[in-house]
Amino acid sequence: MATCAACGKTIVFGGVTKGKKRYCNQDCHHAATAIRYAELVPDDVAADRTHEVHQGSCPKCKGPGPVDIHTSHYIWSAIILTSWYSTPEICCRSCGIKAKLGAALLCMLIGWWGFPGGLIGTPIQILRNLFGVLFMPDSKKPSAGLEAMVRLGQGRPTMVEPTRAPTRQSPEEPGDAGNAIETRNAIETKDAGEDGDAADALANMDNEW
């Protein structure tokens, strides 16, 4: 069975193929694109922004930091089907503890009901959550994972790929981020259309890309 090139999950049904790579869905394809851009963020910019986020207030409860990545692990099963996944979140320690304990409880309720995956996986996911509560991220310095997430956030605004603009004639094509931006460009061009010249100028600019 194929595995997703972004999240590593096994693709059971469907999936999206881009070039030689396969992804669970468009979200995973976007994530892979975002990672490529995140790598382009300069180190000093990433370090400064990571420090700000780490010392800032919690995006979940608005309480005081330090803020870092807290990952909750889940599993659910239905007879022969078992699905595992992990959800990283940027939040404070107390939100992190709540999320992990909540996830452990959920695993306990819906993890078991499959054979053999559920029986094997449920204790593993519960333990991962409990270890996550016992071994919290270092509060003195941001984790490498937090920096990676911050880089992803910083990388995103540069995701406009100028070379893609001419393909905007088909924005209805099940799109990626590029297409979404192109659609917006198309709308903006249309709005400006009442002014005539402005629209022409915009259209020409796009073509020069």
Q: Which residues bind Zn ion (CB under 5 A)?
A: 4, 6-7, 24, 28, 58, 60-61, 63, 91-92, 95
- Assign 187 to helix, strand or coil: helix
| Amino acid type, 83 | S
Our CB check for Zn ion shows the closer of 62 and 140 to be 62
Inter-axis angle of helices 144-155 and 26-38, nearest 10: 100
Q: How far is the CB of 75 from Zn ion (least distance, A)?
A: 17
Measure the N-to-C terminal CA separation of the chain; round to a whole number of Å: 40
Q: How far is the CB of 104 from Zn ion (least distance, A)?
A: 18
Q: How far is the CB of 91 from Zn ion (least distance, A)?
A: 5
Our CB check for Zn ion shows the closer of 58 and 177 to be 58
Q: How far is the CB of 2 from Zn ion (least distance, A)?
A: 10
Our CB check for Zn ion shows the closer of 6 and 107 to be 6
Our CB check for Zn ion shows the closer of 60 and 164 to be 60
- Assign 112 to helix, strand or coil: coil
Buried b (16+ CB within 10 A) or exposed e, 53-77: bbeeebebeeeebbbbbbbbbbbbb
